[in-house]
Amino acid sequence: MKKTTLFLLFCTTLTASLAQSRSYQDLQRNFGDHPEVRSFGISGPLCRLAVSIFSHEDQEAADVLEGIKHVRFISIPMEEFDNKGLSVRGFQSRLTRDNFELVANFRDSGSDVSLYQRTEKNNDRYFLLVEDNDELLAFEMKGYIDPAAFQDSFKFSSL
């Protein structure tokens, strides 16, 4: 019984680690041990439920998240990049080496927002970076986002 439980735990851990992109794994490896770094992952249906609870009148957000199957999130204080001798620009170049393409880049309420996409066999993978003065928010999403959902919501310069 112990061997079976251990085997199932190993398979679950292995599956979860393989589901993350190398870019996200780099963020976890470099910053995950810092006490002020927060990270978690939730399934797409749970994410849509949370959006509907906290913003029940925001149909646009619900439309954008309709095809999402999984979301991972990490919040990193900017000072940690300096402490480790790393930079957000360096991480953005890591994303391109991980086959993510920059889809959009815009400024919103003083924050720099960058959206990256990587086409995969069964689902697309998206990486959303929100950089402000004191922290970087990174979201990795697996699934599908309809680009038309953004057209009416955001006025930004697409690359």
Are 88 and 81 spatial neighbours (Cβ–Cβ below 8 Å)?
Answer: yes
Q: CA 102 to CA 144: how far, in whole Å?
A: 16
Task: Please tell me the predicted confidence (pLDDT) of residue 74.
Answer: 93
Task: Please tell me the predicted confidence (pLDDT) of residue 120.
Answer: 84
Q: Are strands 124-131 and 135-144 parallel, antiparallel or unpaired?
A: antiparallel
Are 75 and 136 spatial neighbours (Cβ–Cβ below 8 Å)?
Answer: yes
Task: Please tell me the predicted confidence (pLDDT) of residue 94.
Answer: 93
Residues found in the chain: 159
CA distances from 106 to 1, 38, 49, 110 (A): 54, 24, 27, 10
Task: Please tell me the predicted confidence (pLDDT) of residue 43.
Answer: 73
Question: pTM of the predicted model, to two decimals?
Answer: 0.73
Q: Please state whether 126 falls in left (phi above 0), alpha (psi between -120 and 50) or beta.
A: beta
Neighbours of 44 (CB within 10 A): 17
User: Structural domain boundaries of the chain?
Assistant: 21-151
Q: Spell out the per-residue pLDDT of the chain, length 159, in tens.
A: 444 333 333 333 333 434 578 888 989 898 988 889 898 887 766 666 665 665 555 666 666 667 778 889 999 999 999 898 999 999 999 999 999 999 888 888 888 999 999 988 878 999 999 999 899 999 998 888 776 665 554 544 444
